[in-house]
Structure 1
Amino acid sequence: MTAYWISLYREVRDDAKLAAYAELAGPALTGAGGTFIARGFPEQVYEAGQDMRSVLIEFESVEAARAAHDSPAYQEALAALGDGAVRDLRIVPGV
């Protein structure tokens, strides 16, 4: 079953750390089978929506998304990010 990796950037604390993370994370996640579906700031928010950077990545399964997160390449990206951002990251199964 398809799964979706959803990242919401609640706060960016260090643009340089975020850029270093992005340079490593993109190749790590696509190399692990992820396909970027959407990324950026919302064009419109409703209800309790917040104007924050969002990233949506599709994987073939929850297991593949977990493996991507736990991979050495992505862990290197996380180390580069460090405390550069406060994020809400979740993996959600598709329907």
Structure 2
Amino acid sequence: MTAYAIAHLHAVEFCTDIATYLEKIDATLAPFGGRFIVHGGPVERLEGHFSGDLIVIEFDDREHARAWYRSPAYQAILPLRTRHARGDAFLIDQVAQPHRATEVLEYAARNA
């Protein structure tokens, strides 16, 4: 099942380390089939408050996403970002298709 590595960066200090990180990240994704789906850009806020940048990287499955994040190549450049950007990062799976919104209720009932 398709999985996504998502980062919501609230504050990024653009500097040489961030530029180096951006120059090197694509090569770390390639062996794991990672593809940028969203990489910052203008946000049209519809509700609430949103600040920062959203990054979404798609992988064939969570195993590939986890292997990329843990890979020596990515771990070598990760400090370039974490020293200069504050935010959250996580992995999440795509829902099975077709998906109905009420399936969330069924999941909640099973796990109550």
Report percent identity of matched pairs. Answer: 35
Find runs of 4+ consecutive structure 1 residues off by over 4 angstroms.
none
Instruction: Give the TM-score of the pair, scaled to structure 1.
Output: 0.87
Q: How many residues align?
A: 95
| Root-mean-square deviation over aligned CA pairs | 1.6
Q: Relative to 1, partners in 2 of residues 1:49 and 1:4: Cα closer, same or farther, differing over 3 Å? A: farther
Where 1:18 maps in the other structure, the secondary structure is: helix
- Structure richer in strand, relative to its length: 1
Normalising by structure 2, we get a TM-score of 0.75
Where structure 1 has 5 or more consecutive residues not aligned to the other structure, the ranges are none
CA contact (8 A) 1:2 1:94 kept: yes
* Greater Rg over alpha carbons, structure: 2
Q: Which residue of 1 aligns with 2:17?
A: 17
Query: Structure 1 residues 44-53 or 1-10, which shifts more?
Result: 44-53
Contact residue 10 and residue 51 of structure 2 kept, 8 A = no
Separation (CA, whole Å) in 2 of partners of 1:22 and 1:59: 18
Task: Flag structure 2 segments of 5+ consecutive residues without an equivalent.
Answer: 96-112
